[in-house]
């Protein structure tokens, strides 16, 4: 599904066939989850393949390496150029891009001095389905920000996301919503959350959540479009009185919720700010919004 006979990856300075690449069985990333990754999208725009917010994603990758004490010297510009070449070599325009920094063999609990950079990509259809999600509040909380760097995409942190997604899927839901250690609404297992109440949007502030690049893009669009938005904590009880709710993320883009546990969001999705933002976001990634503004 992710690669075929021809697929190429970037691995420690060169391009090679995915089927020929191998990894170290003794890697600290495999044993302890000490690795850092990104999830990026490229879109087939009228101007050709465009990586959406490459600089922001690669800055976040570098931030993750820094806080985990992983030696990593590539600049966002170098990484972006490598990624464009990788897309071309794989003949991809609509793609998901997965850069991953792994650490070497070191069984002590100190970051290994060896670093590997792997960049993979695979085809990704134009949009995710526009189906509304049925969401379950997870029994798992997001990690305490004093236990790790919650804004770093460290591989080991994703055990929390896997636990909550497994739990939700097992009970017949599409996705999980996680609270923070204080009982406030935090985010989805791999996306940020926004609610709409009386024509106003609310999203949790940074601190207990991933600082999503889609979240930041949506906040910018709201400012430009005059959509009222507030960043503040809110409880599950408040969310269950909201008119509508949506998730944002590189993979999910902007996706609406049908329900949360037993609560059905009452507003018609097509009349919500979320629906409008879903369309504006799609135009933004395809670089069609800029043109509209310029006209």
Active site residues: 153
Tell me which residue of 176, 224, 222, 179 sits closest to 201, measured CA to CA. 222
**Cβ-based nearer residue to ligand PMP, 82 or 210:** 210
> Which two three-digit tokens encode residue 186?
């935090």
**Cβ-based nearer residue to ligand PMP, 87 or 152:** 152
Alpha carbon separation from 143 to 158, 161, 267 (Å, rounded): 10, 10, 32
Q: Who's near 20: CB < 8 A, 6+ residues apart?
A: none
Helix or strand holding residue 41 (H, E): strand 40-45
Shortest separation between residue 211's beta carbon and ligand PMP, angstroms: 7
Query: Which positions lie near ligand PMP, rule CB under 6 A?
Result: 39, 161, 187, 190-192, 210, 212-215, 248-250
* Ranges assigned E (strand) in the chain: 8-11, 14-17, 36-37, 40-45, 48-51, 95-103, 115-123, 133-137, 175-179, 185-188, 192-197, 200-203, 229-231, 244-249, 253-260, 263-264
Shortest separation between residue 85's beta carbon and ligand PMP, angstroms: 23
Shortest separation between residue 48's beta carbon and ligand PMP, angstroms: 23
Shortest separation between residue 14's beta carbon and ligand PMP, angstroms: 27
**Cβ-based nearer residue to ligand PMP, 92 or 177:** 177
Shortest separation between residue 107's beta carbon and ligand PMP, angstroms: 28
**Cβ-based nearer residue to ligand PMP, 35 or 190:** 190
Per DSSP, the three-state class of 162 is helix
**Cβ-based nearer residue to ligand PMP, 28 or 192:** 192
Per DSSP, the three-state class of 179 is strand
């Amino acid at each position: 599904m992710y690669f075929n006979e021809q697929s190429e990856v970037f691995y420690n300075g060169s391009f090679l066939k995915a089927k020929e690449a191998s990894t170290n069985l003794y890697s600290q990333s495999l044993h302890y989850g000490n690795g850092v990754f990104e999830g990026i999208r490229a879109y087939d725009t009228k101007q050709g393949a465009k990586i959406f917010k490459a600089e922001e994603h690669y800055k976040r990758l570098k931030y993750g390496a820094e806080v985990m004490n992983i030696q990593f010297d590539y600049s966002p510009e170098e990484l972006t150029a490598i990624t464009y070449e990788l897309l071309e070599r794989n003949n991809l325009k609509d793609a998901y891009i997965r850069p991953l920094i792994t650490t070497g063999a070191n069984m002590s609990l100190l970051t290994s001095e060896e670093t590997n950079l792997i960049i993979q990509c695979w085809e990704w259809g134009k949009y995710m389905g526009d189906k509304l999600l049925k969401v379950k509040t997870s029994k798992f909380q997001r990690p305490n920000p004093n236990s790790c760097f919650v804004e770093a995409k460290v591989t080991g942190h994703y055990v929390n996301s896997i636990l909550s997604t497994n739990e939700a899927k097992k009970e017949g839901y599409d996705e999980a919503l996680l609270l923070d250690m204080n009982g406030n609404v935090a985010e989805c297992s791999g996306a940020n959350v926004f609610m709409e109440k009386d024509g106003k949007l609310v999203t949790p502030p940074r601190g207990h959540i991933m600082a999503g690049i889609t979240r930041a893009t949506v906040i910018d669009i709201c400012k430009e479009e005059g959509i009222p938005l507030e960043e503040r904590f809110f409880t599950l009880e408040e969310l269950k009185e909201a008119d509508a709710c949506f998730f944002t993320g590189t993979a999910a883009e902007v996706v609406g919720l049908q329900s949360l546990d037993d609560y059905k969001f009452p507003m018609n999705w097509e009349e919500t700010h979320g629906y409008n933002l879903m369309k504006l976001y799609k135009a933004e990634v395809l670089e069609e919004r800029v043109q509209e503004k310029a006209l």
